Structure 1
Amino acid sequence: MDGKTHFIVGGIAGVGVANYIGADLSTAVSLTLLGGCVGLVPDLDVNGTLAKRVTMNKNWLVFLLGLLGIMVIIYSVWGSSTNFPWLGIIVGSGLLTLPSIIVKQKMMLLLTGLAIGAAGISLQSTWLIMLGVYISIASRLPHRSLTHSLIGLGYFSGFGYFLEQDIKIDGVMFVCSIGYLSHLILDMKWIPKNRRGVKFFQPFSKLEL
């Protein structure tokens, strides 16, 4: 399934959660955008050399990292409890410019993950540390491996929990869970145009659904 479809369906998941919890307009917009971004996250394991054949090409990656950079900057300035937000601001600015500097997608993702993890440690932010670890590991994995499994879903749901606790916006964990799950469902082999399915239970089972 292509990136546009994953983004749209993830966004719809965000709209559904916002409607369910009765969110106000600004929160609903935030949850919708979050859902769209989370819908793309499992494909951070995509190799740049396959960009034209798989679901996330560099344009989508630049878009996703740019939004993440803005989010890190905003959090560093207004949301962090630390008195030294400069590392977060530097990392966020780097996410806005890094894709135009580094050509190789895997290396760009690895450096991004390490930088976000370092910012999370500096800002004492669990969700930023978890995101940095996720991106770093995903950058070294083959496509449709652990990021496309229940382990990946559980990990990113945990990320959503800590993000919700930190920014105090109800529904964030649900959006992270449902948006992520929507990606796995859309990649199942019973969906038209999918040549491969998803091995939900890897590394414990190779059963492909």
Structure 2
Amino acid sequence: MKGKTHLMIGTAAGITLGVNYPLEIAIVIIASSVVGSLLPDIDHPKSSFNQKILFIKNKLYKTLIYSFIGTAFTYYGSSLNDKLLILLGITLILTGITNHRGFTHSLLGLLLYTYIIKKLTIRYDIQGVYIGFVAGYISHLIADFLTKGGIELFYPFKINISSPIKIKSGGFWERFIIKGTSIYSVYILWNHMKIGS
């Protein structure tokens, strides 16, 4: 699915969770869900994230940059004896060297990224980030599971799985999902504001 679709699904997931919290935490949950819904596509050189950080949008450059950043985190974490930084470094290296819809679209990628986020939120006492990030990340995997391309859910095993019901990227059903999640998000926010007033 396209980045815009993941963004809208992630926003809807964040709003669904966030309306039950105070405003400050709700904003963090929604923002974290949006980030989580876009993050799995950092394995693609032309993803929304990589458009901002990669000067050259190709696989080789993506591999070099993420491997370099991951190695730096691993080295720095080793010098500080910080296991979380080492794990972040290894996770970024794996992100750099794997194909699109591989590691970051797998249970292993989900577990590593959400574990890192959980530990960081505990370390820095940031409420709402973890729950939003997990919801967004899972929404991304489910959405891509529904496409023809599928996902390598059990990476490192090269078994591509997808739903029997497939949604064509850019097709009618994807446009329907964008409109549906937009209407849903506005409806939930509107109802919550009416209840709160």
Give me the TM-score of the superposition, normalised by structure 2: 0.66
Structure 1 alignment gaps of length 5 or more: 66-98
The yes-or-no answer on 1:39 pairing with 2:37 is yes
Q: Which residue of 2 aligns with 1:140?
A: 97
Select which of 154, 164, 172 maps to 1:201: 154
Matches within 5 A, 1:38-117: 38-46=36-44, 48=45, 51=46, 56=47, 60-63=49-52, 99-100=54-55, 104-117=61-74
Contact preservation (8 Å) 1:17, 1:171: no
The higher radius of gyration belongs to 2
- Following superposition, the deviation at residue 128 of structure 1 comes to 4.2
Which structure would you say has the larger RCO, counting Cα contacts within 8 Å and 6 or more residues apart? 2
1: CA distance, partners of 2:149 / 2:117? 28
Residue 49 of structure 2 aligns to which amino acid in structure 1? W
More displaced 10-residue stretch of structure 1: 136-145 or 163-172: 163-172
2: CA distance, partners of 1:19 / 1:130? 33
- Following superposition, the deviation at residue 120 of structure 1 comes to 4.7
The yes-or-no answer on 1:173 pairing with 2:130 is yes
What is the root-mean-square deviation in Å for CA atoms of aligned residues? Answer: 2.9
SS in structure 1 of the partner of residue 126 of structure 2: coil
SS in structure 2 of the partner of residue 139 of structure 1: helix
Select which of 114, 121, 142 maps to 1:164: 121
Matched length: 160
- Following superposition, the deviation at residue 158 of structure 1 comes to 1.0
Sort the Cα spacing of 1:202 and 1:100 in 2 relative to 1 into closer, same or farther, 3 A.
closer
Residue 112 of structure 2 aligns to which amino acid in structure 1? Y
1: CA distance, partners of 2:64 / 2:55? 13
Give me the TM-score of the superposition, normalised by structure 1: 0.63
Contact preservation (8 Å) 1:7, 1:40: yes
Structure 2 alignment gaps of length 5 or more: 163-197
1: CA distance, partners of 2:81 / 2:152? 34
Residue 128 of structure 2 aligns to which amino acid in structure 1? G
Deviations 1:97-153 (A, max 9, x none): xx3489722222222223344455567765544333222111001121122111211
Contact preservation (8 Å) 1:120, 1:127: yes
Sort the Cα spacing of 1:123 and 1:9 in 2 relative to 1 into closer, same or farther, 3 A.
farther
Contact preservation (8 Å) 1:42, 1:148: yes
Deviations 1:178-208 (A, max 9, x none): 111111111013xxxx331123234457261
